[in-house]
A = this chain, B = another copy of it.
């Protein structure tokens, strides 16, 4: 089952999505959790599914948290795969750089793991937003697009500090209040491998070059 329908299917899609977008725009944004916490509030549409690099950039930008896999250093589970939830941001909604930034503390289990082994895989899914529920896509259906980014988690350099801080604090204003006793630092995922599951036919491989070169219209 390769590729996706185009042309008339896109017209049908636009027709179907129009009322959804109107409903989204009029629905009040509740909660005090900051911007972009899974709200489909912006007029963003999923890019054409065949443009896997752009879909990957879209998912990274729309999601503001993900699950990170690391190798465990904890007693009893040493060497085994470990998973944890981390907030993240690649920038403001619709203006993401594609770089997933994190705000980490040495007190976190994942950070203890990364200290010994910086390899990690981050996964993010549109199931984190209202998209999948709205269109009736099961979280494990490829239509409920999700991406997998492998690489290493590294501290952000001095030069990149401001970008990281701005990207994160815009989407996660609560971070500004987190206690300094936790020794928070900015980190990012240095991406080496990308898989995109957004349609039937199996995961699509996207290179970091394709990923960073993708631009939203």
A175 within 8 A of B: yes
Which of A71, A82, A83 is most buried by chain B, counting CB atoms within 10 A of its CB?
A83
Known: A70-B81, A83-B121. 11 other contacts (CB 8 A): A67-B69, A67-B85, A69-B82, A69-B83, A77-B150, A80-B119, A82-B150, A83-B83, A83-B123, A85-B140, A127-B128
The DSSP consensus for interface residues of chain A is mixed
Number of A residues near B (Cβ < 8 Å) is 59
Nearest CB to that of A173 among chain B residues? B138
Copies of chain A in the complex: 2
Question: Are A86 and B140 in contact (CB-based, < 8 A)?
Answer: yes
Quote the shortest CB–CB distance from A110 to chain B (angstroms): 10
A87:B202 contact, CB within 8 angstroms: no
A positions within 8 Å CB-CB of B: 30-34, 37-39, 64-72, 76-77, 80-87, 103, 107, 109, 119-123, 125, 127-128, 132-141, 146, 148, 150, 172, 174-175, 192-193, 195, 202-203
Chain B residues, CB < 8 A from A38:
127, 133
Could you pull out 6 A-B pairs where Cβ atoms are within 8 angstroms?
A68-B83, A69-B82, A77-B192, A81-B121, A85-B123, A109-B195
CB-nearest residue of chain B to A136: B32
Taking a contact as CB atoms closer than 8 A, the residue among B30, B81, B120 that contacts A119 in the complex is B81
